[in-house]
């Protein structure tokens, strides 16, 4: 393969493949009428992301991350980054200028933003597959990668939250590092991408850390070939972390340690790691021999560990270790993306197959490659990310969003190998092996087979309607509430984000770990007696109570406290201090007005 084919022409062809996949996704969603815009289906994070963008456009300060309409009076500080709010706000402003309508501009951005992320993600999956194998892996990467990214659902219209951007940046960092031997400046950009993914959300920390560790280990084993790559990657990490720190954190908060968002903790770790790696790779005295490289890298790692242990020991605990026990029991344990593989095996075995099959197949392929010898730097980069993502997903299933995407790369190489064999030595056996490789690599096939098997072995338990709470999620359900004068609404946390996004009201609860006081207040009101609920309603100036009977959280509360206020409301027991809002009788979202006292 010549330089020309390895340069501009391959980028053009890869862009064309990615663009075709993105346009196909747009066409599928357009044919369906973009249903996610009318029914976000419980995508609370994307709805609240839109609320944050509106707040920023409405004049809320760049450094002010309060969500004033959620929680107790005065709101609470969110842990998300303005790095995502900014491009979304600019996109909406640009579309508003073109269309003359902010509402239409929001809808356009809700469609085009996820599609753009999908396009970029597919492009970097293709680039990674090409660098991992060769040009024969491009078509499988486009097809299998497109199916995988569509399956994980984070690129659907309306998906504005940080998960798709984090995956895109991580894939970009991986693809750039895979190409870094021939495109040395690519490592600098890879370091920037890895750091930005971390800055947008701490979920990316394991993957940014894994990439940094592999870059360092490759340098340890091969100074001449990897020294410049490690130096550039370190410079990218250090530079990006410093820029993020000064542009997203006010000077008054520079010394405040936050474990769940980018702060002095993350800046200290990334800054030391990036700058330290750049210094070690630049000083011959520190890298002339393998022993010196080992000592230098070991001292850097020890220094970082000492800084964290001595200055930020609180960040060594599990992410939710200090969460109130009631929130851990009644809230965190029922967040699907936060469940472990042990919970999934017990509650939903079919989902385990759907989420873990292709990553485990990919790991087996990587293990076979390792056992046969010929391990390459590409294998180290891809293998480290894949194993890390599977380990994270075993702890919290949200990690499978990354592991499914990373698995596409070795799976594409596997398909390419059997395609080549079927072409060079055509036979029924080679064609069948190629077909099997295609089928095994498509995540949706595993999902369908698992669901079919689950149905076949059903033991007679009553069927559940998966869409029972769908009306609670639709935008139309909140129309009546949106037309009422702004007040505080008492509702379960699953209704918090849509109430903020579709109406001008405020709420107490939302599925966010920093909103401890607001969520506990709702527990007290809904799980306690009607008299206790009345006291909370009066002291916090609640004007409306919202009830969605089909919402899983409502059913959970009613089952946990059958004599509580919410359970009574679901049975039709209405206390004297409430009156139904007539136009919502029998609607998916029932509203009850608090009677004025005195």
**CA 146/CA 168 separation, integer angstroms:** 13
Q: At 81, list the tokens.
A: 């980054």
pLDDT at 316 over 60: yes
CB 546 within 8 A of CB 590: yes
**What integer is the mean pLDDT of 68-90?**
96
With contact defined as beta carbons under 8 Å apart, do 139 and 413 qualify?
no
Whose tokens are 């064999």? That residue is 421
Q: Round the average pLDDT of the chain to a whole number and report it.
A: 90
Tell me what pLDDT residue 338 has: 61
Which residues, at least 6 apart from 2, have a Cβ–Cβ distance to it below 8 Å?
Answer: none
pLDDT value for 446: 86
Given pLDDT bands bounded at 50, 70 and 90, which one contains residue 455?
low
Centre a 10 Å sphere on the Cβ of residue 486 and count the other Cβ atoms it contains: 12
- Domains of the chain, first to last: 188-199+206-314 (no CATH), 327-454 (no CATH), 470-594 (3.40.50)
pLDDT tens for each residue of 22-61: 999 999 999 999 998 988 877 899 999 999 999 999 999 9
pLDDT digits (tens, 9 = 90+) for 120-178: 999 999 999 999 998 999 999 999 999 999 999 999 999 999 999 999 999 999 999 99
Could you tell me if 404 and 151 are in contact, meaning their C-beta atoms sit under 8 angstroms apart? yes
Which is nearest to 473 in space by CA: 35, 33, 41, 36? 41
Burial of 491 (0-12, 13-18, 19+ CB in 10 A): buried
**DSSP summary character for residue 179:** T
pLDDT of residue 118: 97
Cα separation, 156 vs 527, in Å, equals 35
**Under 8 Å between Cβ of 63 and 245:** no
Q: Per the structure block, which two tokens stand in for 435?
A: 């077909």
For tokens 């700058």, what's the residue? Answer: 275
Q: What would the mean pLDDT of 60-64 be, rounded to a whole number?
A: 96
CB 500 within 8 A of CB 554: no
């Amino acid at each position: 393969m010549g330089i020309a084919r390895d340069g501009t022409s391959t980028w053009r062809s890869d862009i064309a493949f990615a663009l075709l996949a993105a346009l196909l996704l747009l066409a599928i969603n357009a044919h369906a009428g973009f249903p996610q815009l009318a029914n976000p289906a419980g995508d609370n994070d994307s709805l609240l992301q839109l609320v944050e963008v509106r707040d920023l456009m409405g004049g809320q300060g760049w450094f002010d991350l309060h969500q004033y309409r959620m929680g107790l009076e005065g709101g609470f500080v969110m842990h998300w980054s303005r790095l995502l709010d900014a491009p979304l706000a600019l996109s909406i402003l640009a579309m508003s200028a073109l269309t003359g309508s902010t509402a239409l501009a929001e809808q356009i951005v809700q469609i085009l933003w996820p599609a753009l992320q999908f396009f970029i993600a597919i492009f970097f999956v293709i680039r990674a597959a090409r660098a991992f194998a060769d040009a024969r892996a491009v078509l499988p990467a486009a097809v299998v990668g497109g199916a995988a990214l569509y399956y994980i659902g984070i690129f659907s219209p309306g998906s504005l939250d940080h998960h798709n951007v984090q995956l895109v940046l991580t894939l970009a960092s991986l693809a750039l590092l895979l190409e870094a031997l021939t495109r040395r400046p690519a490592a600098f950009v890879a370091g920037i991408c890895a750091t930005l993914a971390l800055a947008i959300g701490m979920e990316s920390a394991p993957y940014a850390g894994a990439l940094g560790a592999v870059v360092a280990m490759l340098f340890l084993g091969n100074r001449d070939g990897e020294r410049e790559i490690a130096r550039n990657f370190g410079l990218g990490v250090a530079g990006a972390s410093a820029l993020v720190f000064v542009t997203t954190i006010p000077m008054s908060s520079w010394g405040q340690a936050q474990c769940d968002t980018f702060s002095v903790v993350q800046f200290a770790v990334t800054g030391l790691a990036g700058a330290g790696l750049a210094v070690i790779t630049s000083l011959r005295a520190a890298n002339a021999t393998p022993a010196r490289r080992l000592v230098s890298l070991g001292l850097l790692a020890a220094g970082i560990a000492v800084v964290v242990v001595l200055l930020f020991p609180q960040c060594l605990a599990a992410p939710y270790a200090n969460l109130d026990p009631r929130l851990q029991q009644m809230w965190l344990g029922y967040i699907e993306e936060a469940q472990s593989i042990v919970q999934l095996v017990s509650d939903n075995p079919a989902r385990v197959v759907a989420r873990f099959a292709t990553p485990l197949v990919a790991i087996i392929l990587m293990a076979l490659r390792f056992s046969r010898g010929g391990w390459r730097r590409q294998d180290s980069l891809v293998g480290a990310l894949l194993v890390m993502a599977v380990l994270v997903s075993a702890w919290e299933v949200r990690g499978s969003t990354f592991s499914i995407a990373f698995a596409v790369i070795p799976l594409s190489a596997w398909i390419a190998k059997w395609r080549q064999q079927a072409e060079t030595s055509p036979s029924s056996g080679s064609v069948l092996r190629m077909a099997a490789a295609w089928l095994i690599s498509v995540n949706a096939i595993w999902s369908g087979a698992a669901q079919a098997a689950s149905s076949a072995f059903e033991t007679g338990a009553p069927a559940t309607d998966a869409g029972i709470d769908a009306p609670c999620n639709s935008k139309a359900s909140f129309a009546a509430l949106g037309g009422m004068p702004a007040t505080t609404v008492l509702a379960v946390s699953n209704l918090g984000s849509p109430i903020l996004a579709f109406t001008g009201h405020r709420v107490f609860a939302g599925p966010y770990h920093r909103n401890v006081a607001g969520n506990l207040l709702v527990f007290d009101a809904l799980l306690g007696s009607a008299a206790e609920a009345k006291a909370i309603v009066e002291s916090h100036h609640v004007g409306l109570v919202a009830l969605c009977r089909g919402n899983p959280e409502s059913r959970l509360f009613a089952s946990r406290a059958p004599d509580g206020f919410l359970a009574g409301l679901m049975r039709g027991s209405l206390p004297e201090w409430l009156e139904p809002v007539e136009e919502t009788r029998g609607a998916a979202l029932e509203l009850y007005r608090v009677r004025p006292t005195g």
